[in-house]
Chains A and B, each alone.
Chain A
Amino acid sequence: MIYVHIFWSFLIANLLGYGGGPATIPLIQNEVVNHYHWMSVSEFGDVLAIANALPGPIATKMGGYIGYQLGGVLGAILALIATILPSALAVILLFKFVNLFKGNPKVALMTKSVQPIIFILLAVMAYQFFLTAYEKSGIFHLVLLAVVSYFALIRFKMHPSLLIVGCLIYGGVFLS
């Protein structure tokens, strides 16, 4: 039964995620944390942190790892098939009718209409992570690390993996 649930939850999250891998993250969280209770918000956060520190597409890293945790290699394979196969097949098939879809105003408006929902889902997730950080390490470390993240990523365009490794070290030294 767990295999059916793994397959179903990653299928749903990726079929509904308009806007590439990052748009599917809150939908994956919704299935994995809120619906099936396979992991807590903070465990999901650890997985997301490591996934962000590594290169490559984010949706398949999440699917591969969570599937592996829940159902071993078979679980990982099922989660990956559910993540990739529907949209990969669709893009190959659709290309045969390319002119029907390219610049179609219906498709354009449909893509735009989903943006507010994805925005809210991501904003709520960000809030949950800030809340966890506030409860566990206090306001001082939260504000400090958030401000450092802002300068590192936005102002200095630093590599995200460098920032994550830096904050892992900071946490290991000052927050343990």
Chain B
Amino acid sequence: MLYWYKKGENQLKTYLELAIGFARTGVTGYGGGPSTIPLIEHEAVKKYKWMNEQEFVEILALANTLPGPIATKMAAYIGYKVKGYSGATVAILTHILPSIIAMIALLGVLYSYKESPIVSGMVQGVTPVIGFMLLEMAYRFFQNGRKGLGFPIMLTLSIVSLVIVQFLGVHPGILIAVFLIAAFIIADRKEKAAKTAAELLLHRKEKSS
């Protein structure tokens, strides 16, 4: 009897730790999911020791290869590792709910005074800031692309994207799908070419020795 009671208490404690850890990272991380990653690492590795540093880095690398928001992918995996699917649910919900509720409340207040000139002035005041933040984000993606693809390819593909999405009005999803498939085929060919080259080299070495 006491054993079951203890076990239940321990289980509850684990869920509670998951909830506290992810709620804390959800309400203190500014600048979207990517900026919360070091905070999540602190909770998962240093504070609650759900995993070691190495494992965290491996999951992060894996999660980055998938589309979609990064913070919820991390919450899903860590929650799952600690307490299965219900752990994943607890981690995700505690991570996202506080900020969503705050957002609905804040915008509700702002919009109930929508006709007021002060509120419309406030919206105008914030528009250039959003423009700037988006520009800064765009710059980061440009730098990533330049490092990964090289400047000439990045520039060419950017111009191609601009023309196709903006001037021809094609849905960006179609373009993304085309780029993904092309990248897959190119990488596949490179792999095969590298393999045959390595085999050829091996062959020559064997002959010469």
Q: Please report A residues at the B interface, Cβ cutoff 8 Å.
A: 12, 14-27, 30, 35, 42, 45-52, 54-61, 64-65, 68, 76, 80, 83-84, 86-92, 94-95, 98, 101-127, 129-130, 132-133, 136-137, 141-142, 145-146, 149-150, 153-154, 159-161, 163-164, 167-176
Contact = CB atoms under 8 A, between A and B. Distances in A.
B128 A149 contact: yes
A165 B179 CA distance: 39
Contact of A101 (B29, B65, B126, B190): B65
Most A-side CB within 10 Å, residue of B123, B142, B145:
B123
Interface string B57-76: 01101111111111111011
A145 B103 contact: no
B69 A56 contact: no
A16 to B, nearest CB: 5
B200 interface: no
Contacts of B134: 25, 122-123, 125-126, 129
Contacts of A171: 121-126
B96 interface: yes
B201 interface: no
Contacts of A132: 127
B5 interface: no
Given A46-B123, A146-B128, A113 B179 contact: yes
Contacts of B116: 176
A42 B127 contact: yes
B129 A90 contact: no
B125 A167 contact: yes
Interface residues of B, number: 95
A113 B183 contact: yes
Nearest to B77: A91
A117 B99 contact: no
Given A30-B172, A101-B65, 10 more contacts: A14-B69, A16-B67, A55-B30, A56-B95, A59-B32, A64-B103, A88-B73, A95-B59, A110-B180, A149-B129
Given A50-B103, A65-B100, A95-B59, A110 B128 contact: no
Nearest to A56: B99
Please classify the interface of chain B as helix (H, G, I), strand (E, B), loop, or mixed, using the class held by over half of its residues.
helix
B130 A68 contact: no
B72 A27 contact: no
Nearest to B135: A126
Interface string B112-141: 000011111111111111111111111001
Given A14-B68, A87-B69, A115 B129 contact: no
B73 A87 contact: yes
B125 A106 contact: no
Which of A45, A47, A60: most chain B Cβ within 10 A? A60
B103 A54 contact: yes
User: Among B36, B154, B180, which residue has the most Cβ atoms of chain A within 10 A?
Assistant: B180
B161 A117 contact: yes
Contacts of A76: 100, 104
A109 B138 contact: no
Contact of A112 (B121, B123, B145): B145
A55 B27 contact: yes
